[in-house]
Amino acid sequence: MKNSLLFILLCSFAFCQPKKAREETASPAQKERFDNSHLAALGKLKLSDYGFFKGELSDLLPAERVFPYELNTPLFTDYAYKKRFIYIPENSKMQYHPKETFAFPEGAVLIKNFYYPLDFRKAEGPKRIIETRLLIKEKQQWRSLPYIWSEDQKEAYLEVTGGQTQVSWINGKGEQQQNQYLIPNLNQCKSCHIKGQSISPIGPKARHLNRKVKSDQGEHNQLAYWEKQSILTKLPKPSEWPANAVWNNAQYSTDDRALAYLDINCGHCHNPEGPAKTSALDLTVFAQSNLERGINKAPIAAGRGAGNLQYDIVPGHAEASILWYRMNSDDPGIMMPELGRNMIDQEGVALIKAWIDQMGAPKNNI
């Protein structure tokens, strides 16, 4: 009652003001939304307009035709958690590919929500969602659209220029953490998602998706489940499905975990067709030779990213390896990946260090 009175009071006050003054009382975010014709041409202005979620938007409960998915080894983004979904329009399907991103039908959308649980030890507990990135499949191409969540968590708004926000959380060890989280702008999205000349999703590939996940209906393999749901075709027999290791699961070998980590964190640029092809370094699981993989390979144009070191990987010596040096930096002129993080992935760096340190004398074509 008190609130609505205040509301009426405020409204009437607002209407008494000349137009110009009214605009000045708007918050910067609201002001931005007054002039959104250029944005409206790109996509829906509010995340809720798509109808991907039912109930409270911030509960991220998938609506019809919206399917959650997980990756064996995900990309590191300043320790943010991610809830990923695929929207597949009625009567259409994804098509399996053994190596590349699955072929998606027109109208499909990949929905990736970035959030921090307030306490990582209760990951399903209260959380703060920062941003939602959409990849929308049009007839010929993919389009990326970034949405930033309001502080009250009621809505996320299209914002092409990115932004930054202070986040804090309690990590798995019970330690208080904080970070200036950088939300990428529209063109930065492309910097990672470009393949050849066009945008392509990174995660939805067989080797990342081939894993068991838990759902209301128990535990099931994602690929098998999607085939059963009739949203995935051309799936070969299970023995032919590739699978990357889970980077932080010690049941896998250090080799496999390191290669899986580099594949998802670096391989989207460092592959023979990616933006980092200029470096002749291939960090996908498909690299054939020591040289392609960076072992005893001199850098090409690393600038001060080379850090006074001679080779990308010096077997047995992580601290002498440019790969480790650049992962272990948070200076934008040195660090790798060069976008999408503001912090160092301590656990990831430790894995790569262990991997390089245990490498023996270089063998040909390991």
Partner 1 sequence: MRKLFTLILLLSGIRILISCGNSNFSYNPERHFSNIEKDILTKFILCKDSSIIELPEGHFLFSQSLILDGKKNITIKGAGMEKTVLSFKDQQQGAEGIKIANCENIILEGFSVEDADGDNIKASDTDGITFRDIKVAWTGPLSEQNGAYGFYPVICNNVLIEECEAIGASDAGIYVGQSTNVIIRNNKAYANVAGIESENSEQVEIYNNEAFDNTGGILIFDLPGLSRYGKKVKMYNNYIHNNNQPNFGIKGSIVSTIPTGSGLVVLATRDVEIYNNHFANHKTINVGIISYEILAALAKEEEGDLKEQQAVAVAGVRGMDQNYKEDQNYDPFPGKVRISDNKFSNEYSLPNLQSDFGLLWISKLGLNIPDIAIDGIQAPQYFLPNGQLNPDYSICLENNGEILFVNLDAGNDLEGFTTEIPENICSPSL
Footprint of partner 1 (CB under 8 A): 38, 42, 160-162, 164, 182, 184-188, 190-191, 194, 197-198, 275, 277-278, 280, 290-291, 296-311, 314, 317, 319-320, 322, 331-333, 338-339, 342
- For residue 304, the minimal CB distance to partner 1 (Å) is 5
Closest to partner 1 by CB, 60 or 75: 75
Closest to partner 1 by CB, 42 or 235: 42
103 strand-pairing partners: 95
Task: At 184, list the tokens.
Answer: 């990428």
Instruction: Report how many helices (DSSP H) and strands (DSSP E) the chain contains, helices first.
Output: 11, 16
Q: Which long-range contacts (CB under 8 A, 24 or more apart) does 199-202 make?
A: 199/135, 199/141, 199/142, 199/143, 199/144, 200/101, 200/142, 201/101, 201/104, 201/110, 201/135, 201/142, 202/75, 202/101, 202/264, 202/268
- For residue 307, the minimal CB distance to partner 1 (Å) is 7
Closest to partner 1 by CB, 31 or 122: 31
Tally of CA atoms within 13 A in the half-sphere of 258 that contains its CB: 20
- For residue 319, the minimal CB distance to partner 1 (Å) is 6
Closest to partner 1 by CB, 56 or 330: 330
- For residue 332, the minimal CB distance to partner 1 (Å) is 5
Q: How far is CA 275 from CA 126, 328, 342, in A?
A: 38, 22, 21
Closest to partner 1 by CB, 97 or 277: 277
* Residue in the block written with tokens 């391989």: 267
Task: At 354, list the tokens.
Answer: 């262990």
- For residue 361, the minimal CB distance to partner 1 (Å) is 12
